[in-house]
């Protein structure tokens, strides 16, 4: 029986972040082919008692994933900023603010956009569009329409971005991350040859989790109804921790079992990975191996799912 690990990762710009039970490791391949490795301990959130409470732990885990993920993404991007040609506005800001302050501005803006964009696309926009269906008397049906819009926007976003060349390379690193975790779970030596044979699709993927969040939000949001669109948006944001908590427990249950029911429940998320993972090349697999080797705990039981 294969091991099921809590170790998870995130594809970056020419790199991978791996997060284990004790620490994180970020590995980036620079333009000169050199590997840059950054190890960091986990924060106190993961070690606190509240982080182990069912439903609450999902919110803590989600917050930590966002925090470490955004920091690692900005870190990986910093190695390629000098290679990108600056626009006239960027050159002016660089001159006025100085290189260091300009870089802080760019990274800060990227962080804010990374948080605001999903909220606008997947919460505000569907709620706004659902306002055109106020003639539907059933609040349950209106919420269902809004939920289907949210899922449709999410699917369109994933499919459209997967066609972009830069994003495709990130999705190749995503595939390398999955393959490496599979190889580790099977107890095989972490070599390029062994990793290459594994599947790009993994049942405990963040993409699958986001898809579950979309459907759970339909159920939770349907319990509350307000005609005012601004109040509806505010309620969606307030209920987001509830949605995340339920989704995490669902994924945790499905991830622990392998039978016809759990395979059926994870099928939509596995299908979606056809768009978010691409077969990596050997150099990307090397990055993934270097990343996971830094977060495997000495106690082999500590990262059990």
Q: Per the domain annotation, does 107 fall within a domain?
A: yes
Highest mean pLDDT among 40-44, 60-64, 222-226, 240-244: 240-244
pLDDT band for position 28 (50/70/90)? very high
Q: Per the domain annotation, does 305 fall within a domain?
A: no
Q: Per the domain annotation, does 276 fall within a domain?
A: yes
Checking if the pLDDT of 84 tops 60, the result is no
Q: Per the domain annotation, does 67 fall within a domain?
A: yes
Q: Per the domain annotation, does 301 fall within a domain?
A: no
User: pTM of this prediction?
Assistant: 0.84
Please report the pLDDT score of residue 94 as a whole number: 62
Q: Per the domain annotation, does 159 fall within a domain?
A: yes
Q: For residue 215, what are the domain limits?
A: 8-293
SS3 for 97-137 is HCHHHHHHHHHHHHHHHHHHHHHHHHHHHHHHHHHHHCCCC
Q: Per the domain annotation, does 119 fall within a domain?
A: yes
Q: Per the domain annotation, does 1 fall within a domain?
A: no
The predicted-structure confidence for 97-123, as pLDDT tens digits, reads as follows: 676 665 666 666 766 776 778 778 888
What is the number of structural domains in the chain?
1
């Amino acid at each position: 029986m294969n091991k099921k690990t809590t170790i998870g990762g995130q594809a970056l710009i020419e790199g991978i972040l791996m997060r284990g039970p004790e620490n994180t490791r970020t590995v980036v391949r620079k333009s000169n082919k050199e590997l840059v490795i950054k190890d960091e301990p986990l924060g106190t959130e993961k070690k606190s008692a509240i982080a182990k409470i069912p439903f609450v732990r999902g919110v803590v885990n989600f917050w930590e994933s966002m925090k470490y993920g955004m920091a690692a993404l900005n870190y990986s991007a910093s190695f390629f900023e000098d290679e990108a040609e600056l626009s006239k506005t960027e050159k002016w800001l660089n001159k006025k603010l100085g290189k260091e302050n300009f870089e802080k501005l760019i990274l800060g803006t990227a962080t804010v956009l990374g948080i605001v964009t999903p909220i606008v696309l997947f919460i505000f926009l569907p709620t706004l569009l659902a306002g055109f269906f106020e003639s539907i008397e059933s609040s349950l049906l209106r919420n269902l329409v809004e939920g289907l819009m949210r899922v449709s926007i999410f699917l369109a976003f994933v499919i459209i971005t997967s066609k972009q060349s830069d994003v495709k390379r990130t999705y190749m690193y995503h595939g390398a991350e999955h393959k490496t975790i599979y190889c580790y779970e099977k107890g095989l030596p972490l070599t390029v040859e062994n990793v290459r044979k594994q599947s790009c699709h993994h049942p405990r993927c963040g993409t699958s989790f986001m898809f579950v969040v979309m459907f759970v939000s339909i159920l939770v949001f349907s319990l509350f109804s307000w005609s005012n669109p601004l109040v509806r948006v505010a309620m969606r944001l307030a209920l987001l921790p509830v949605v995340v908590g339920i989704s995490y427990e669902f994924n945790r249950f499905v991830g622990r079992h392998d039978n016809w029911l759990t395979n059926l429940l994870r099928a939509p998320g596995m299908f979606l990975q056809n768009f978010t993972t691409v077969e990596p090349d050997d150099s990307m697999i090397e990055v993934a191996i270097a990343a996971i080797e830094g977060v495997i705990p000495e106690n082999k039981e500590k990262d059990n799912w």
